[in-house]
Copies of this chain bind each other. A is one copy, B any other.
């Protein structure tokens, strides 16, 4: 065959340039190991690998690591998928799960039909009521767009902001969740990175924001928005309310859309912290200030205590967007028709959970509290263990699902990595997965100060596996350091 029309030289160079290490080389390798282990197991043969299972710590995918789904949520899903069950076996369900399914179906919701492009109206109403309760002031359902996970929300926002007739800039933290940088690369926008301060538990400094902003403006960039992730991915840290107010002032000062990635709002472990949305922070600064802030906040059903990743649900809610821009956003989301309905359904259960007096209330609370308590124990345990390893420093996590330890690599390892043409922390992570089956993501995939090395790991392995994960890491790390000393 002659060179085919679609080949590596004819496709979009933006795709070649984009990076997304969360499912990059380490993960691809881990996937192959898992397939090999499964195959060997099925045949009853040895796998030839130095480990007997793969531990996926590359991604916040809790149910893959045995976290159980919320019973109420799944009962409502089953009932909406197959409403005959209400007649056939009503006793298999909590009465309030049946009532919820009836309420949704009665409002015209069907899992099999395209919904309104922005999401089913009743579900957007429930999301609006949730935000109203959370923030203590009214939220309008028309400002809510249901999406297939928060990733799609970011895509819609970036597509709206990025123009090809200017150097559109969007400020993103370093380290950051690589979705942001990947979408900026695909959109050919300018990344305007601001660095979090690792020495001060990855704090966000307003001076650093000003530096990043002014340098970009001096370069002719039209800076339009800033992404702030709170609680933070990958660092596990949280902003203080004072710092949040400063960020709001910063956005107003420079007329920036604040894109608040708040998907970890239910993942707070530090006893001295609670989640406060940027929307509430800004509103509490007074109507005059608030009215000057454009803010889009993201939420997702994939995170929190529910971890319903596969259902791909989420939303963004946006304040002070002109009506004519809303009309354009409506058109944009309409082109994809609508987000999937079951994701919307799960979202509804989570924003309007069972309340006291409901039959499923007690179990819901127990499941929720158990998961959060367990996440907290695992976060602390894994962090302490990492800090005990030679060359590791890890900030105590306050929220989210991740740890982002700094690792000091021997000069010889750095040199070998360069020879192999890979980032030094990628070099470390590849050997880690090869020898232990533990899959983490190199810090270079998130961005980091030059000369520093990290990896991101979730703290999601089941509690009975944390010890063995720690043990494997320890043994591997010692061997690695000895090898490249």
A residues sitting closer than 8 Å to B (CB atoms) are: 1-2, 4-8, 10-16, 18, 20, 22-24, 31, 35, 38, 59, 61, 63-64, 69, 74-75, 77-79, 81-82, 84-85, 88-89, 91-92, 108, 110-117, 121, 148-149, 151-152, 155, 159-165, 179, 182-183, 186, 188, 224-225, 255-257, 291-292, 294, 302, 307-312, 320-322, 324-325, 328, 331-332, 334-343
The complex places the Cα of A155 from the Cα of B183 at a distance, in Å, of 14
Are B4 and A320 within 8 A (Cβ)? yes
Are A182 and B335 within 8 A (Cβ)? yes
Are B322 and A4 within 8 A (Cβ)? yes
Are A84 and B77 within 8 A (Cβ)? no
Are B82 and A23 within 8 A (Cβ)? no
A224 to chain B: closest residue by CB: B5
Chain B residues whose C-beta falls within 8 Å of the C-beta of A111 in the assembled complex: 77, 310-311, 342
The complex places the Cα of A179 from the Cα of B108 at a distance, in Å, of 26
Q: Report the minimal beta-carbon distance from A375 to chain B, rounded to whole angstroms.
A: 16
Which residue of B7, B63, B292, B339 is within 8 Å of A113 (Cβ)? B63
A69 to chain B: closest residue by CB: B112
Are A331 and B15 within 8 A (Cβ)? yes
Q: Report the minimal beta-carbon distance from A159 to chain B, rounded to whole angstroms.
A: 7
Are B82 and A74 within 8 A (Cβ)? yes
Are A161 and B11 within 8 A (Cβ)? yes
Are A16 and B328 within 8 A (Cβ)? yes
Which residue of B18, B59, B331 is within 8 Å of A331 (Cβ)? B18
Q: Report the minimal beta-carbon distance from A192 to chain B, rounded to whole angstroms.
A: 14
The complex places the Cα of A234 from the Cα of B88 at a distance, in Å, of 41
Which residue of B20, B155, B160, B291 is within 8 Å of A6 (Cβ)? B160
